[in-house]
Structure 1
Amino acid sequence: MTSNSLLQALEDHFVSLNRMVLKSLEDSVNIHREAIKRYLAASKDLSHPQGEDQNGEEAIRRILAFHKANLEVCNSMFTEISADTPLTGMLSILRQEHEKLLEKIPVKMPLEYPQGYFALNRNDPFLSKIMRTTEWTLLAPRQALSSLLNPIRKLMGKKIPEPVLPVHQVHARHLYRQFLLPHYLNRLTELIQETRKEISASLTVLLENELKEHPKFHWKKQYDILLGSFFQEKLEEFGKLINHSGSPLSFTSWRIWYKREILKNAFSQMVYIERSWRITYYAFYEDWRFREHLFTFIQEVRLIMLEVSSIFSGRIRTTLYPELEKQKAFITRILDGLPDPDKASMEELKSYLVKELYRMNKEKKLQLQEGTVFEAAEDIPGILQKLENVILEKLQDFPQKVGVVHSPDYQKGIRQSEIRYFSPSEFLEFNSLAEFLQVQNKLKVDLGKLLEKIVREFREFDQIVDFYLDSAIALTQKPGIQEDEVIMIFREGLKRLEGISDRSKTMLGDLDQKKWSEISANTEAFINSVSKLDDNDNILKIYTQLLRSRALASSAQNRKRLASGMKTTASRLSRYSSQHFGWLRTSYEDIRKLLKLTSSSATITSEISNYLAGIRKRINELPVIYQHLFEQAPVKEMNLFLSRKNDTEKLDQALADWEKGNFAATLVTGEAGSGCSSLLLHYARTLKSQYPILSFQVDKFYFSTDDFYTLIGEIFNQIDITDEGSLAHFVSTLSEKIVIIDGLERLFMRKVNGFECLRKFLSLVVNTNESIFWICSVSKIAYHYLNRTVALSEHFDYILDIDNLKGSDIREIIMKRNRLSGYNIWFLNSTEASEDDSDASQEELEEAFFADLERFAGSNIGLSLIYWLQSVQSVGEEGIKVDKFSVPDFEFLDNLPARKAFVLLLVVIHRKITEKYHALASNCSLEESSGLLSLLKEDSILVQKDGYFFLNGILYRHAVKLLRDRNLIH
């Protein structure tokens, strides 16, 4: 191969390389060009009309569609970039073409020295001397040999030649590898760098959503400048290298050794540049893709927020507001229709009230058949849950891992070490979602409580009206009351009900405006918090906080585990000491009492008596409606009865067992005031059975044999049962029925032969099981006493203990009765009547009151009602003020004389006594009995009503404690 053919081959080679490079670069640029085209096409729909609400649903949907389109563009670009790129293919082709050309170029190629080769640079005296020396060294041997051969040439007639320089070996392959190709690769690397910078500049602007038109790339101009004339620029220099190659002046061997890594470095530099830009694009598209995910998520949250807002407001305005208007119209109609008290008689008034009660019950049944609007209203908290569910669901759309760079400069390039990876969903859960859900849960609880109040008041509207109508009808039958008094009480009740409706309307306003504003503000704060992740620096700061928080959480968990272990150990030690050393304190207190070292007074002072009388007086001064609601009597109104599902199911189970032919007599027992009578009354009223039901309340005392026959006659409404024969005849004719007897504690007397009536009754219960399903009740103290005397429990197959109400049940009973009264409640913070109207403070005071009440009264409904009334400080137009509950101190009972303690024993066992009964039971005269009971009545320990003496309910707990301390009851 000659030098000319070598140059021609190299020129053809570089022309071919340029075409390939041009194609590869153009394909690479087109990837981003097409992406930008798709972006610009998607962004056309983002334009907003002038004055359009940017937070409107249409605008949000358009923005959401824009970001989703961008995300698709980004994902497709990311896929192409992540796969094999045109640049990667170009590098592979360059290596292949390089290897092919090397096979065509010889390692060494002979070439004669050109004329005047050593005459070069002779203007330099020093170089001229070197060149003359070199020339003489190369030509002297040839001239000496030629001089020896010239005579022979003359004899032979040949021309005598001029002495010439020897042929030198051109290192053609080396010159290509170490000179042309590295320079070309460096030029190409420079062009790639310029191209990538241009693309990165456009993409960076695109990332900021500021690119409005297709960018014009100038990389082809750079191609013409850097590669188009590359070979012509290097041809002259390359020619000189060919002429010098292999000559003494070229030092070729040394240069080969010195520049042996130049081509490798050129390739490596190009690969490094290509890879660095791949990393840069990767970081860019990761950034872009995450931002589009982020903005898509934000717009989806805004969209669901609009949807939830529409449903939320719609439910309120289509369900609750119309119901409120119906209630207001109902109250107005009844008030306007009330008869004139000056013209109407009591019978006419009663007739009007009965007619309205019937009409209301009819409308209520129709409403139950058609369905209630409250079901839709109660689902409102579920709407907020839908918002949370959508947010949690959309969080899963984020990539599992995303790379971010601190303050990225995409035109400069990104190194792999600069990329930090994180989980977007984990970041959002830590930085934004946790706080959002915490506030959201609190708002849901507040919303639920407010909605519960509203719906409860709506639901209880009919019950309140029903109660007022029933009470007014009952008042029309009360002797001595006038028509205007009945109408006044009824009108005042409806006015309070009207006030409840106004309060419900205010609460609806708070629900529709204030509460939703708080929910919207929380969601907007969440969106703003999420938007901060648009800044890479914020992400890295949060990442640092996340790591720190994890470490702190782990440390806190370890401390909590340690504290829990220590607390458990301390609790076990405390229980052990209380179990094994509690007798010390008990013995100490007993010794003090025996030695009369206690501070209790042996007599009831006037202050104590006046205090007890004052409580009774204050309770009696409460409004009639309020006293009626909290009356210590079996609940007759269905609205006041607390559903005791578990207890009624046990009664049903016993009934089913009896229907199978088994012995199933049932005894219901509970503390005085636990609701035994109310339960049995409710069960008798609501039980749907094929058998007739007889319900009998034992109000009088029965203890002798004759009393037994009288009792049976009254139970079955028979007047001819006077002995065993008539009883046996009656029993033989009995058909199957259910008999409910309330009050077995009044079927005996605590004396010799005082249990005859009870024994005969229990025998009848056992012998008539085939035809009668017996349900009886007895107070718990009487139950324990009778178990030891007549083995009461052995006569019944089912023993139902109803002392199982929770504090929340007692609270609901009291609060429901108060709601039925129509009065608002303010809980006072102290005896000075300082009050706080804030909902939070009232809730705290309410919680504290009922917690203290539960600790003292337990599951005793009657006792809880008494102490509620005792805590009522005042009643006015603005509502009821309830004082802070405090456990009363009645330690004076500890030193009560034995004869008075015996009276308490009788009252606690039988729940009430008469003077005659006490005289018989205590074996004293009627006069002595009357004096003693009157004395206890004057001390306000006993209360007299309808000829019976009852224990002052306030003293019940202390009286029971006294009797137990003296071993009179167990």
Structure 2
Amino acid sequence: MEFKSEEARLVFDIFETRLKPIVSDFYKNKGKQHLTLVKAIESRYISLQESLESAKHISEKVELQRSFKKSLLKLLVKHSKTLGINSYNDFYEQYVIAINKALIELPKSILVKEPFNGYTLKITENPIVTARKILINTKRSSILLFKRTNNFFRRLLRKTPIDVVNYRKRNLKFRNITRQFILNNYIESIHHLFGQLMKSHSSGLIELWKLDEMLDLDFQQDLLLKSQEHTNVPADKNHPIEIFKKVKKAHQASLKEIINNSETIGLEILSQFDNALQKVDTLDLPNKNFGKNRIEKQKKKSEAIYQSELLSWENTHTALFDDWAVDVEITLLYYSVYDEFNFLIDKINSYVNTNIFESFIKIRDYFAKSRQALEASASSKTALKEKIIDERGRITNDLIDKLLSQVIEFLTGCFTDDFETLLKDTNTLVEQVSNNRGFIQNKNYLKGAATSEVKYISPRELLYFEALPVFRMKVEKIEQWTDAQLEKARINLMGLGTVCNFTLESAQIMLEQQSGTYKKAMNTAVDGFERALGHLNKAEQIIAHLQSTIDSELRKAINNFDNDILKLKNTENKFDLNLKIARIKAIERTEQYKKQAIAFIRSAIPKVKILFINTKALIFSKIDEIKSRIGISEEKKYVSFELSEFIDNTQHTLKKLPFVYQRLFQLNPTDEERFFVDRNKELEALRNSYENWKKDRFITVAIVGEKGSGITSLISFFLNQSDIKIPVIKHTLSCKVYTNNAYFSLFSQLFGVEKFESNNQIIDYLNKAGGTQIIILENLQHMFIKLVNGFDCMNMFFELMAHTMKKVLWIGAYTTHSWNYLEKTIHISNYFTNEIYLNPMSQENIEEIIFKRNYLSGFQINFQPDTYALNNKTYQKYDEEQKQIFLKQQFFSTLRHLSSGNISLAQLYWLRSTQMANNDSINIATINKIDFSFVKNLSSNELFTMQTLILHDGLELDDFARVMSKPVSASRNLLTPLLEKGLLIKPRLKYNINPIIFRPMANYLASRNFIN
């Protein structure tokens, strides 16, 4: 390059040898740094592809992807920290040091003397400068004219002419000028090259980011297809490698162009420097332009502009790496959760196949051998009976205590911890996601960004608020469903052992009966075994379905979780992302207010409903009253014939059922623990009473409940389950005891004494007895009659209790309405220290009691739909299992309503609804509701009759006549029509209210103040 001055040539040499290498090295180092990242990603990708090609199972591929994402995330985080202003500052500082060293070698100033041909005027110049130029040019012209005139005369005088050239002297501040051009001007001129380099880096990173997203999409599609053979290599296997080549090639071309441009700019600056040297210290370029302070001020201004540019690119690249890192973190989270899912599924499948299904095989083998043993002994009653007794022992020892207990233990909480571990591990993985990441709207990463353009989100908080709760809810729902299925399997298996034992017990009882043959007994046993195997088949189906459903439903939950978390990758709408958490919190607050409002409405609805019903009843009663007055009252409703036939039909239905089912649903009190349900509170009260009485406390106990509510079962269970080592006398009054003779005869019979003459004799007898004892009397409502002196026996009994409480624990049982009547008349509660009330059974309790009995039979239950259910749109959408759940809920809701929580009545309705379907299943028909409105049309005499029978818990004809103060014939005429209509029943001698109408009748009598 040609220069006008040697000084410019000297500075050019300095630039070429000392400064240009610093600039080139800076760009090369930045490029090398970027290229290192690209190559690192490329090497990891190539390694991933090689590993994926050799991986055989999808879980291995997921683990490889996890490792790749971890490595990529670590790489991005590490590389993002190498960017920033510091790297440029190091370069700038090095460049300034090199200039300072070079400037020391240059002269501080240079004095130049040169011909002066005057200034060239420019129209764009400052007028003052132009005026000064004109003045100087005029002065120069005057001097030149003077010299020329002088030379004219000198030539005439033959003297040597003087030099007419006009010279000027310029004092060049050479160091300052050099600093200005090769530092300030050059650095300002190349600052856009840094932006060009960073834009090139951004472009390459965005290409790699897109490639990463494409590869993730391919692999995730493979996961959805559960492909074992596919890898995540696209159809064009070399395509990703070509992208890496393209990125590296583009980077190298851009870097080369930037370095060339920096050199070209350097030459241009040096050319400007050379030209400036010809003008410095003139009006065109005054020396003041190169003053030290001005140069320093310009340097600081340039540095500030450059720092702003650097900061904007640092913002861009930091946000770019953050944004990409969020994508990587989200994808890594998905792969990690999927890996946990694979581990869970493998563990479940291994557990089920190794433990549960192997146990099922052993149980089947046991049944096959047991059946063969029974068939081999089915030659006579005696041989079969002995074998049945032997097999019952084996069922208890081998089947129930060993095989079934082991598999039930396997099924108890076997997956609960695994689901909790999945959720806990997922929560830990979410905790590892970054809490603060930057991004730029629309992914505009090809230019420097102001600090205000960088927005921040918290991926972790978004996951906690949105994706994670939904995932947790779905997993917990699967867990609850799994627990329910395991419970079903356990119930079937527990029923299996009980069905076997109960069936063989029934066969044994059949053999002990004269009418029972060994063939019938054998058929009963074989049928029971088949039903037991049906339980096993059902359990096996449940577990198999459980396996497949856990896999499919958890996979759906994982994929939905993936879809939810992938939404966090979309940063197109920064407003939505920045407001997402606030919106979710607002929704949570709204949901809380909504729940409070719903709770308020729910609490108000029953009150409003009661008010509506009462108002409606009042209005209709007034309307009926008005209709009655004007003679347009509605036709009376009569008792349905179904009512009178209900109990007979129920008994007829029971006889059609298998012997096993008849045994289970006989309406007799039970003392077996397996049938005892939800009387623990009452049982505990009885036990506490007994324990307190043993401590010499004065205790008497009254048990109050409706007929059929389970009083006898409660007492029997108390006696069997309590550690009672003293004598117990238990008696149920079956007829009225309201005369002295009947009273003394009762206790003579109880204690085996020939005759008691007075109550004092009974008291003395008990107090002088050798030890303590418990005396339980049921149906104590029969110890009074609603007559003058009709309470004498009851009062004597109270006296007996009061004087013998230390020797005897008295337990008496009363019906509810009798107790309430006695409380109003003689304050009966004063004579008992402890009162135990048996409340009506809930719907859940009734369902549990009935199904406990049914499980023992081994029969499968199928609920039949009625017309309402068949026309119900919701019902039509259900699958078979959901339909059965719907029908069961509907049936037991109706059963609870009709039975009013009375378990005996509930069993009557249940038996009335049973229909044999085949050898191992029973259909349950819908309960036909009975219209009880006819009770409102009963006459006064009929209502008084019902009142009397309820208070006395039934009466014989003679006693009824006494209470009603009517002749026997008139009383018979009053009772017989009610009996024929089915309103009354007469099992033996007593007339009593039909249990089907007992509750509606009692409610109506209470509403009319006939009873309390």
1:113 aligned counterpart, secondary structure: strand
Change (3 A) 1:277 1:318: same
Q: Deviations over 1:562-591 (max 9, x none)?
A: 788788788777767878998676677788
Following TM superposition, by how much is the alpha carbon of 1:811 offset from its aligned partner in structure 2, in angstroms? 2.0
Match of 1:64 in 2: 66
For the pair 1:742 / 2:784, whether they are aligned, the reply is no
Match of 1:286 in 2: 322
Residue number among 498, 523, 530 corresponding to 2:558 in the alignment? 523
Q: Secondary structure at the match of 1:770?
A: coil
How far apart in 2 are the matches of 1:415 and 1:402? 16
Task: Give the letter for the 2:87 counterpart.
Answer: P
> Per the alignment, do residues 469 and 639 of structure 1 end up closer, same or farther by CA in structure 2, a change over 3 Å counting?
farther
Match in the other structure for 1:504 = 539
Match of 2:795 in 1: 759
Which amino acid counterpart does residue 803 of structure 1 have in structure 2? N
2:683 counterpart of 1:648: yes
Deviation (angstroms), 1:844: 1.9
Q: Is the 8 A contact 1:782 1:910 kept in 2?
A: yes
* Matched residue, 1:73: 75
Q: Which residue of 2 aligns with 1:671?
A: 706
Kindly indicate whether residue 143 of structure 2 is the aligned counterpart of residue 141 of structure 1.
Answer: yes
Preserved contact between residue 356 and residue 410 of structure 2 (Cα < 8 Å): no
Give the TM-score, by structure 2 length.
Answer: 0.81
Q: Which residue of 1 aligns with 2:129?
A: none
Counterparts of 2:632 and 2:514 in 1: how far apart (Å)?
54
Question: Alpha-carbon deviations, 1:929-955, whole Å to 9, x = none?
Answer: 777666544433344446655543222
Hey, what does 2:921 align to over in structure 1?
879
Task: Provide the rounded CA distance (Å) in 2 between the counterparts of 1:250 and 1:602.
Answer: 124
| Residue 954 (str. 1) matches residue 1003 (str. 2) | no
Which residue does 2:663 correspond to in 1?
628
Is the CA contact 1:693–1:737 (under 8 Å) kept in the aligned structure 2?
yes
Alpha-carbon distance in structure 2 between the residues aligned to 1:470 and 1:833? 39
The worse-fitting range, judged by mean Cα deviation, of 456-465 and 699-708 is 699-708
Query: Following the alignment from structure 2 to structure 1, what is the Cα–Cα distance between the partners of residues 384 and 344?
Result: 50
Structure 1 residues 222 and 580, CA gap change in structure 2 (3 angstroms): closer
In structure 2, the CA distance between the partners of 1:197 and 1:831, relative to structure 1 (3 Å rule), is closer
Task: Give the alignment of 1:374-523 within 5 angstroms.
Answer: 374=409, 376-408=411-443, 410-414=445-449, 416=451, 418-428=453-463, 432-433=467-468, 435-478=470-513, 480-523=515-558
Superposition RMSD in Å? 4.9
Q: Summarize the alignment of residues 899-918 of structure 1 with structure 2, pairs less than 5 Å apart.
A: 901=943, 904-905=946-947, 907-911=949-953, 913-914=955-956, 918=960
Q: In the alignment, which of 177, 180, 183 is matched to residue 181 of structure 1?
A: 183
Structure 1 residues 544 and 832, CA, compared in 2 at 3 Å: closer, same or farther?
Answer: closer
When structure 1 is superposed on structure 2, of 16-25 and 366-375 the one drifting more is: 366-375
Provide, for residues 27-56 of structure 1, a one-character-per-residue CA deviation record: whole Å limited to 9, x for no partner: 545554554565456556524457655753
Distance, in Å, in 2 between the alignment partners of 1:924 and 1:322 is 75
Aligned positions of 1:821-840 closer than 5 A = 821-830=857-866, 838-840=880-882
Question: More deviation in 860-869 or 262-271?
Answer: 262-271
For residue 811 of structure 1, what is the aligned residue in structure 2?
847
In the alignment, residue 853 of structure 2 is paired with which amino acid?
R
Matched letter for residue 500 of structure 2 = V
2:167 match: 165
Question: Are the structure 2 counterparts of residues 178 and 926 from structure 1 closer, same or farther at C-alpha, using a change threshold of 3 Å?
Answer: same
Residues 536-570 of structure 1 show CA distances to partners (whole Å, capped at 9, x for unaligned) of 44988777888777777877877887788788788
CA distance, structure 2, for counterparts of residue 198 and residue 474 of structure 1: 94
Q: CA deviation at 1:838?
A: 1.6
The question of whether the paired residues in 2 share the 8 Å contact of 1:27 and 1:86 is answered with no
1:311 is aligned to: 347
CA, structure 1 residues 638+548, in 2 after alignment: closer, same or farther (shift >3 Å)?
Answer: closer
- Asked if residue 708 in structure 1 is aligned to residue 743 in structure 2, the reply is yes
Give deviations 1:467-525, integer Å, cap 9, x for gaps. Answer: 33444444445564444444444443433333232222222221122443233233233
Q: Structure 1 residues 885, 481: closer, same or farther in 2, change over 3 A?
A: same
SS in 2 for 1:85: helix
1:90 aligns with 2:126: no
Q: Distance in 2 between matches of 1:569 and 1:100?
A: 91
Find out whether 1:963 has 2:1005 as its counterpart.
yes
Secondary structure (helix, strand or coil) at the match of 2:717 reads helix
Query: What is the identity percentage for the equivalent residue pairs of Structure 1 and Structure 2?
Result: 19
**Counterpart of 1:314 in structure 2: which amino acid?**
S
CA contact (8 A) 1:279 1:416 kept: yes
**CA offset digits 1:181-238 (Å, max 9, x no partner):** 3441145324423433443344334433446689576477557534457655544442
Aligned residue for 1:842, secondary structure, equals helix
* AA matched with 1:652: R
Distance 2:335 2:193 in 1: 41
Query: What letter matches 2:143 in structure 1?
Result: P
Q: 1:691 to 1:358 in 2, by over 3 A?
A: farther
**Match for residue 933 of structure 2?**
891
Tell me how far 1:320 sits from its aligned partner. Answer: 3.6
- Alpha-carbon distance, 1:294 to partner: 1.5
Q: Using the TM superposition, give the Cα deviation of residue 165 of structure 1 relative to its aligned residue in structure 2, in angstroms.
A: 1.3
For residues 98 and 760 of structure 1, do their structure 2 counterparts lie closer, same or farther at Cα, with a shift above 3 Å needed? Answer: farther
Aligned to 1:847: 889
Pair 1:800-2:842 in alignment: no
**Contact preservation (8 Å) 1:139, 1:163:** no
Structure 1 residues 447 and 371: alpha-carbon distance in aligned structure 2, compared to 1, 3 A threshold: closer
Question: How do 1:334-373 residues align onto structure 2 when only pairs under 5 Å count?
Answer: 334-338=370-374, 343-345=379-381, 349-363=384-398, 366-367=401-402, 373=408
Deviations 1:616-663 (A, max 9, x none): 644554444434333322123332221422222222222332233222
1:236–1:459 distance in 2 versus 1, CA, 3 Å:
same
Deviation at 1:176? Answer: 4.7
Instruction: Tell me, in whole angstroms, the C-alpha distance in 1 between the residues paired with 2:149 and 2:641.
Output: 164
* 1:276 maps to which of 298, 301, 312: 312
Identify if the C-alpha distance between structure 1 residues 864 and 611 changes in structure 2 by more than 3 Å, giving closer, same or farther.
Answer: closer
Q: CA deviation at 1:803?
A: 0.0
SS in 2 for 1:168: strand
Q: Is the 8 A contact 2:733 2:777 kept in 1?
A: yes
Aligned partner letter, 2:680: K
Cα displacement (A) at 1:675: 1.5
- CA change 1:510–1:79 in 2 (3 A) is same
Task: Provide the rounded CA distance (Å) in 1 between the counterparts of 2:26 and 2:596.
Answer: 64
2:62 and 2:335 in contact (8 A); partners too: yes
Is 1:630–1:865's contact at 8 Å kept on the other side of the alignment? yes
From the superposition, tell whether residues 574 and 511 of structure 1 become closer, same or farther in structure 2 (CA, over 3 Å). closer
**Pair 1:97–1:50, CA change in 2 (3 A):** closer
Per the alignment, do residues 917 and 559 of structure 1 end up closer, same or farther by CA in structure 2, a change over 3 Å counting? closer
Relative to structure 1, the CA distance from residue 344 to residue 931 in structure 2 (aligned partners, 3 Å threshold; closer, same or farther) is: farther
Code of the residue aligned with 1:77 in structure 2: it is H
Change (3 A) 1:946 1:85: farther
Normalised by the length of structure 1, the TM-score is 0.84
Kindly provide the CA deviation profile for residues 308-343 of structure 1, in whole angstroms up to 9, marking residues without a partner as x. 112322343344434433443444444444468984
Give the Cα separation in 1 of the matches to 2:756 and 2:153: 182
Higher alpha-carbon deviation: 304-313 or 264-273: 264-273
1:113 aligned partner:
114
After superposition, residues 229-244 of structure 1 pair within 5 angstroms as: 234-244=269-279
Give the partner amino acid of 1:857: S
The answer for unaligned runs of 5 or more in structure 2 is: 123-131, 213-239
Cα distance in 2 for partners of 1:593, 1:477 equals 65
Query: Which of residues 234, 237, 245 in structure 1 aligns to 2:280?
Result: 245
Change (3 A) 1:756 1:952: same
